[in-house]
Structure 1
Amino acid sequence: MSLHRAAVLIAACVVTCNGAAAQEFQLEDVPAAASVPIEQIKPRTVIFADQRNDKLADSSTGLIPFDDWARSRPVQRRFLSLFPSFVEPTLKQQTKLKLSVYQAEARFRLTRPAAALDLSRYANVAFLEQIDPAVKHRTITAADAVPNKDAGAAHNRPPDRRWCEDANAICVQSRYMFEGKIPAGIQLANKLREESKKPIPDFIEFQSEIMLVTQPHLAELPSLTGLDSTVTSALEQNIFWVNQVIQFGKLLAVLQQHPTEREAAIATVYILIAVRNDVLNKQKEYSNTPMLRNLVPAQLLMGNSSFNSGDSLSAGLPKYARSRIKAIADIMERE
């Protein structure tokens, strides 16, 4: 190959790569996704909002008490809880397991009609691997789902069915190994704990069900998005068991036809994570131990610790939610 031809190919690659990078979605923080008129959403821009500055949020954690969230936002509770009738679990001692929630919502415009986009393509392990390569997955069956077989986790099972038995759903077990300084911090915390206490894992493991939303629930979703247009499809991931800190999680992606543009669609994505208050409160003693101050769970969860790193769960929920939603937007627009 001549030097001239090689130079031309390199230059073309640079232009192509820079162009591809420029085409990625950018995030724009707003008070609420629904507060931005559809016509003002810029191309390749994700309108993003979370509840950290919400009037209901606890000033010390940035999380909203589950009861306050459920009472003040019944529509969100209906669609974003693990299932509509979910309530805080009652423990063996007849005391309530109190929860707090982190909620993020985002909206972006896609340059194809909503009917041309098929969300069923994303109900698989390959999609999960694309939106967060740091998490490893394997498929499981109904017999593997913890709430189906463990009485201690039965409160996370819907009253009318068992997880993973729907023919249209797939279920996965996922594992994420903490990154950066967090594993070393956990190792130190375990050394300082009483020997009788169970060691803190240096990983998050969870089980979830992924499936398309079906009628009549599909037709009811505009009441959640606040956008009066046809919902063509919706995909949800219900995280129904987690090995520590988190009680449950939900990802819901809703596709609607653009109200005024035939060749465009609007996607609205929600992420909700319910966190156990007993873990947040129990481990506040870390703040009194100089070597462990950066391991206080609330700080780690909300990305306010010097131990936070990367773009996955080790980064904290706000950065994780942003990264995950941006990846979803990029995939939907590209495919």
Structure 2
Amino acid sequence: MFWGRVPVLLAALFVSASAVDAQEFKLEEVPSVTTVAPARLKPKTIVFSDHRDDKLADAGTGLIRFEDWGRERPLQKQFLSLFPGYVEPTIKVSVHGIPKSYTEKLHIYVVEARFPIEKAPGAIDLARYTRIDVLEKIDPSIKHRRITADETAPEADPQSAYNRHPGRRWCEAPGSLCIESRYPLEGKLPVGIRLANKLEEGGKKISEFMEFQTEIRVLPPEEIDRLALAKLTGVETPVAGVLEQTIFHVNQVMQFGKLLAVLQEHPSDPNRTIATVFMALAVETDVLERKKEFESVPVLRNLIPAQVLMGKSSFNSGNSISAGLPDYVRNRIRAIAEGFGQ
């Protein structure tokens, strides 16, 4: 019954400047970023959509069922899933000593953002985001250590084998940075965890920290499907660069996370760039459905997972991870824009 383990994953996805430094940029909410033509973009303005009001989205959470996402937006699924062809994993469990398999149903939180950069695509150094010294300056509360392919959970832990890449091992792509990150939860959230652990004696204890493994890389030219990516972004100019960040293991609740930043030449000015950023987080559906067990305990009624996840609980606080997904994502997108423009 953990509620705080999903938002932290965004810290690994959004490698960027600090939120404080990024306040120059403002957000303009739109129904769909990919329908906003480059000519309509304004300086220091990010058009943004997290699709919480889409007809596909669940009214209570703003998240989209994985199967609906794949059916209605197959191009997004192709590029934003853990890997192309990814399906909801089959999990093996033991029920009264009898091994059984079931499909782990997922919901997706999908974010799109687009903004202009006042310099040519070739002047933007995406490779700097694959250096651990850059990551360490982003958020001091998150500690990183470099890992090898042998240390990844999908290789070392049979229970995580369903997240193995079918074409290669994680962390073996040339030029990639692979890290394991640890984040101690902040604000009011640890208090809620301790209370929940105390009231649920004998059950599995909720951790007060998150651990996740991430691969970050700049796609080499031979791996860039330029036609498909141009169709994904809705911008017709050539794709000049792609930064890909993949969370392939999380110690609790999340199945995966993916960020894709696509740089293209501005249609009317070769010395300017259009950046389109996509992000998808796959949340286990059963986490969103855990409600009754919290409502029955008065002190935990504000700890309902879906409410905390979407920043609608009294346990949410601040402007960072503890604020919930919507506020935190918006701050990180601002930071990405600032970082690309430096």
Could you say whether these structures have the same fold, taking a TM-score greater than 0.5 normalized by the shorter chain as the test?
A: yes
Q: Is the 8 A contact 1:179 1:309 kept in 2?
A: no
Residue of structure 1 aligned with 2:214, choices 201, 208, 213: 208
RMSD over aligned Cα atoms: 1.8
- Report how far residue 330 of structure 1 moved: 0.6
Match of 1:233 among 236, 241, 246: 241
Query: Are 1:278 and 2:304 counterparts?
Result: no
Following superposition, the deviation at residue 211 of structure 1 comes to: 0.6
Matched, 1:198 2:204: yes
Match of 2:186 among 164, 179, 183: 179
Is 2:150 the partner of 1:148?
no
**Aligned with 2:159: secondary structure?**
helix
Where structure 2 has 5 or more consecutive residues not aligned to the other structure, the ranges are 1-19, 93-99
Which of 161, 164, 168 is residue 157 of structure 1 equivalent to? 164
How do residues 243-262 of structure 1 correspond to structure 2 at under 5 angstroms? 243-262=251-270
Work out the CA distance in 2 between the residues paired with 1:246 and 1:144: 19
Instruction: Determine whether 1:103 maps to 2:94.
Output: no
What is the aligned counterpart of 1:166 among 166, 173, 180?
173
Is the 8 Å Cα contact of residues 131 and 327 (structure 1) preserved in structure 2?
no
* Distance of 1:239 and 1:175 partners within structure 2: 13
- Further displaced range: 180-189 or 198-207: 198-207
SS in 2 for 1:107: strand
RCO higher in 1 or 2 (8 Å CA, sep ≥ 6)? 2
State the Cα distance separating 1:281 from its structure 2 match: 2.2
Q: CA deviation at 1:41?
A: 1.0
Bigger Cα displacement from structure 2, 26-35 vs 278-287? 278-287
Q: Is the 8 A contact 1:218 1:234 kept in 2?
A: no
Structure 2: distance between partners of 1:294 and 1:285: 12
Deviation at 1:311, TM superposition (A): 2.9
Output one character per residue of 1:40-94: Cα deviation in whole Å (capped at 9) or x when no partner: 1110111111011111111122111111111111000000001011110112122
CA distance 1:120–1:127, change in 2 (3 Å): same
For the structure 1 residues 121 and 199, does the alpha-carbon distance in structure 2 shift closer, same or farther, using more than 3 Å as the test?
A: same
- Residue 44 of structure 2 is aligned to residue 38 of structure 1: no
Q: Is 1:88 matched up with 2:88?
A: yes
Q: Residues of 2 paired with 1:250 and 1:123: CA distance? A: 15
Aligned twin of 2:96: none
CA drift of 1:37 comes to 2.1
Shift of residue 115, structure 1, vs aligned partner: 1.9
| Residues 290 and 304, structure 2, Cα contact 8 Å, conserved in 1 | no
**Equivalent residue number for residue 26 of structure 2:** 26
1:224 and 2:232 matched: yes
Quote the Cα distance in structure 2 between the aligned partners of 1:21 and 1:242. Answer: 29
The number of equivalent residue pairs is 314
Structure 1: state its 5+ residue gaps.
1-19
Amino acid of the structure 1 residue aligned with 2:154: P
Q: TM-score, normalised by structure 1?
A: 0.89
Question: Is 2:255 aligned against 1:242?
Answer: no
Which stretches of structure 1, 4 residues or more, deviate above 6 A after TM superposition?
Answer: 20-23
Is 1:300 aligned to 2:299, yes or no?
A: no
CA shift, 1:252, in A, is: 1.0
Aligned pair 1:316/2:300, yes or no?
Answer: no
Give 1:154 deviation, angstroms: 0.9
More helix by share: 1
Name the SS of the counterpart of 1:244 in structure 2. coil
| Structure-2 residue corresponding to 1:6 | none
